[in-house]
Structure 1
Amino acid sequence: MAPRLCSISAAARLLLGCPGPLARDAAAAAAARFYSKDNEGSWFRSLFVHKVDPRKDAHSTLLSKKETSNLYKIQFHNVKPECLDAYNSLTEAVLPKLHLDEDYPCSLVGNWNTWYGEQDQAVHLWRFSGGYPALMDCMNKLKNNKEYLEFRKERSQMLQSRRNQLLLEFSFWNEPQPRAGPNIYELRTYKLKPGTMIEWGNNWARAIKYRQENQEAVGGFFSQIGELYVVHHLWAYKDLQSREETRNAAWRKRGWDENVYYTGEGCLWESVGPLFLCQKPCLRMESLLHGGLASLDYLQ
């Protein structure tokens, strides 16, 4: 090791102390020879090069369910305050038809309106059975659906803004299913640091066992298209008191505090936002979305 360090020091002294351009060129050439391909594995270079083990597959393959090909779309619609009732009536008239039509490989998992938090907002969660091909099939058919085109045109007059995301579900979470109610639901949203999705999945695959005592874990999703590095966790509780007791019980379990620590380490921010009331339901379930009280329609 000592001779190599001496060579480095000598090359550096030569390069820094050369009196003229020719000598400096010679010194630079000597340094270049030292850092040639033959020396790529040198101890000195290892101080500056961070070796990263290559992933063998994409996040979507490593973290999502292998036995299903479900794709989810979540929509956030900010409605003009004076139009909220009309918006709800319009969506109640059209969206359930798409859910029940067997020609469309999609199902409407839930509809929400905000109660506390961000006001006058509607949220819709869709499931596409068959992944991206099912999504494209629906989109192509909707282009020729006159009723839906009229619905979009009328709806556009009621909105201030809208956004959406395409999501996959984590392999270790439950698939959202109808459940006996009334219940409240909570959607906690996390913005992850780029590059931490695998660690997040590994951490929560262990941690989910701490949150199954009251069957509160409904679904866990991560974004694929739209805003990236975003995770949504959907929880269900009987009521607000049950929510508080269930969450406090998790803290009494050894290991949950570790999960919370690593959750904070892996994310840039966490959103526990508005409370919701549901639109007129087919099967009504009160819900807590983004940390707020709401009602949820499961139309299945």
Structure 2
Amino acid sequence: MFAVHPDLLYRFLTRSLVSPNSGEGWLSKLGVQKLEPTKESHSRMLSDKEVIYALHTHNIRPDSFDKYLKNYEENVNLIHSKRTELNCELVASWTVDVGDLDQALHLWQYTGGFERIDQAQTVLSQDESYQKLLKERGNHLRSRHLQYLLAFSYWPPVVKREEKNIYEIRSYRLRPGTMIEWGNNWARAINHRRKNDEPFAAYFSQIGRLYNVHHIWCYKDLQSRKETRESAWRSPGWDECVAYTVPLIREMHCRILTPTSFSPTK
């Protein structure tokens, strides 16, 4: 037996499983339609707000976890003290309980588009206290990554939670050219997941790792997560939405998150 590379298999299926009479392939039967040319950017078609989100992912040295959290809380307080000038605020801050351990995620919101991000970077580059915290934080980290994201327009607005919760971030790497199909399918799929108030936020990448999607869900605990997800599978139509989106995915993984003590959402 020999292994077939997934991309070669994908190309074979999309070429060979096409009916010569109908021009309809196997993937199109699953809902993966050929995209028509458009003069509208995909970002504009999927997101309707001039709000940019920054997702910072920090991999922390295990022996520096507490020092790192103290440093980042000071960082948050400093930025919030300049909130009017910077037009940005922390939406949520988490540490990872299941998945990539010794990791923290921080989600920031910038109102006013990339112009506000440029202005904020200029201000902070000249702030000695911020630069000192940034330098100190480097001693506590193994690596870090930043993505600029847009929110999907079909997702419910972000509502900060006040009671104790856990969160799940499900991250997907999609096949290039499939973001519109993803949005079309999830605009329907989200209706199957609203009743338990579990959707928190959903984003797609603009700068950083491209064709990345992040869905963030909120649960009381792992048991309620299990029950809620099983309930979705009993909802007529959910299985079809899953079947339509699976062919769009190249890679996916999930992490279970706990809010930090200074996270605006709990």
Alignment of 1:156-175 (within 5 A): 156-175=138-157
Match of 2:195 in 1: 213
Match of 1:197 in 2: 179
Structure-2 separation of matches of 1:145 and 1:116: 36
Structure-2 separation of matches of 1:272 and 1:178: 21
Q: Are residues 211 and 75 of structure 1, via their aligned partners in 2, closer, same or farther at CA, if it must alter by over 3 Å?
A: same
Q: Alpha-carbon deviation of 1:263?
A: 1.8
Q: Alpha-carbon deviation of 1:223?
A: 0.3
Which blocks of at least 5 consecutive residues in structure 1 are unaligned? 1-50, 286-300
CA contact (8 A) 2:93 2:263 kept: no
Higher relative CO (Cα under 8 Å, sequence separation at least 6) belongs to: 2
| Matching residue's letter, 1:81 | P
| Equivalent residues, number | 233
Structure-1 separation of matches of 2:248 and 2:98: 28
Structure-2 separation of matches of 1:150 and 1:158: 13
1:209-264 per-residue CA deviation (whole Å, 9 max, x = no partner) reads 00001111111100000010000001111222211111111111111001111121
1:172-221 per-residue CA deviation (whole Å, 9 max, x = no partner) reads 01232212312221110011011110010000011110000111111110
Which blocks of at least 5 consecutive residues in structure 2 are unaligned? 1-33
Match of 1:81 in 2: 62
CA contact (8 A) 2:165 2:221 kept: yes
The 4+ residue runs of structure 1 with deviation greater than 6 A are: none
Match of 2:14 in 1: none
Match of 1:235 among 209, 212, 217: 217
Match of 1:181 in 2: 163
Match of 2:53 among 58, 64, 72: 72
Match of 1:94 among 58, 65, 75: 75
Match status 1:56 vs 2:35 = no
Instruction: Classify the secondary structure of the residue corresponding to 2:163.
Output: coil
CA contact (8 A) 2:59 2:104 kept: yes
Instruction: Classify the secondary structure of the residue corresponding to 1:115.
Output: strand
Q: TM-score, normalised by structure 2?
A: 0.83
Match of 1:250 in 2: 232
CA contact (8 A) 1:96 1:108 kept: no
CA contact (8 A) 2:62 2:102 kept: yes
Identity of aligned residues (%): 43
CA contact (8 A) 1:183 1:236 kept: yes
Match of 1:5 in 2: none
| Matching residue's letter, 1:70 | V
Alignment of 1:98-137 (within 5 A): 98-101=79-82, 102-137=84-119
Q: Are residues 112 and 232 of structure 1, via their aligned partners in 2, closer, same or farther at CA, if it must alter by over 3 Å?
A: same
Q: TM-score, normalised by structure 1?
A: 0.74
Q: Alpha carbon RMSD of aligned pairs, Å?
A: 1.8
Whichever of the two has the greater Rg, that structure is: 1
